Amino acid sequence: MDAHELRARTAWGLIADPADTLAWQLQQELGPIEALGQVLGTPNIRALRKRLSATLQGEQVSPESLRAYRARYSPDRVQRALDVQLEEDITAISSEHPWWPQRLGDLGERAPSTLWVKGSLHQATGAQGVAIVGSSRPTRSGRQAAIALSAWALEEGFTILSGGTQGISTDAHRRAVNGGGISVAVVAGGLESVYPPDNASLFARVLQRGALVSEVPATVPPTVEGLLARNRVIAALADGVVVVQAEYRSGAISVAYHAAALGRHVGVVPGPWNDTRSAGCWRIYRECGAIVLTEPADISLVIPGVTHPTTI
């Protein structure tokens, strides 16, 4: 990726929200440089809409989106993001790059156009991966389950994927790095600052063999909307998803719904009916046909092509 393309991709990451289908379409049809030039360089919004609609074969182009792109664009902010990325050794990759995870294609128009990466993503994408997500405030038994599941997955050579947040995600990442395995944390903000800050040392260990990944460039802070949007990326990167305890409305079950929509198998490790941290798991079981896991080896039930071990 040359400097002009990197600048354009960084600009798009700053002016378009994650999962913005119009931004994805424009970059696919015109390339990031030409698409940015047209959006910023044509004074008349009406004329711009007409031109872009023709480019997108008659698709309706939202004038509000075009105005938002223009309002958010700042050359100084783009340069600041580029400077931070260079200083922090953050690499931008596109679908042309050998590290690009081909599974992201399953997201269609909601796929990221660019990923920002720290670490060794190529090691992680070469193996099957399981996403282990769950409550940010798990019970002791929930944490034990997450650790046991991660340990079994490591023994089978799986990459452990999660969101780097507190609770179950932290336990999954930590067990992976403690066991010398490969882990990938998909985060919601720019990679120059970690969230949550308490996981700074954990993320440093993830980078030893795995990677940190974001669909937004440096200087973008994590937001609730960004956290929810990145859940589709976690689901797409994984071959299967396991939810260990989750509230009825939570980011963890969002990963499961995305996974089910993509045709991934979903497993759950719920607790008692009267525990609010299990309500989300039972909801996924009922609405997504999730598999209830009863032991760590049941991860094999959510990973295609893996034989479940038989106990005699």
Domain boundaries of the chain, sorted by first residue: 3-73, 119-301
Place of tokens 């507190």: 166
Strand intervals (E) in 135-259: 159-162, 183-186, 211-214, 240-244
Q: For residues 66 and 275, what is the distance between their CA atoms, to the nearest angstrom?
A: 46
| pTM, rounded to two decimals | 0.93
pLDDT of residue 309: 66
Confidence of residue 312 (pLDDT cuts 50, 70, 90): very low
Average pLDDT over residues 192-201: 89
pLDDT of residue 14: 98
pLDDT at 120 over 80: yes
DSSP 192-210: TS-SSGGGHHHHHHHHHHS
* Neighbour count for residue 105 (Cβ, 10 Å): 11
Name the one residue in this structure whose structure tokens are 């038994």: 141
190, 217 contact by CB (below 8 A): yes
User: What pLDDT is recorded for position 7?
Assistant: 98
Average pLDDT, the chain: 92
Q: Is CATH 3.50.30.30 correct for 119-301?
A: no
**Distance between CA atoms of residues 80 and 89, nearest Å:** 14
57-102: per-residue pLDDT in tens?
878 888 999 999 999 999 999 999 999 999 999 999 999 999 899 9
Q: Quick one: tokens of 252?
A: 């963890």
Among the ranges given (51-60, 212-221, 259-268, 289-298), the one the predictor scored with the smallest mean pLDDT: 51-60
The candidate with the shortest Cα–Cα distance to 12, out of 88, 102, 72, is 72
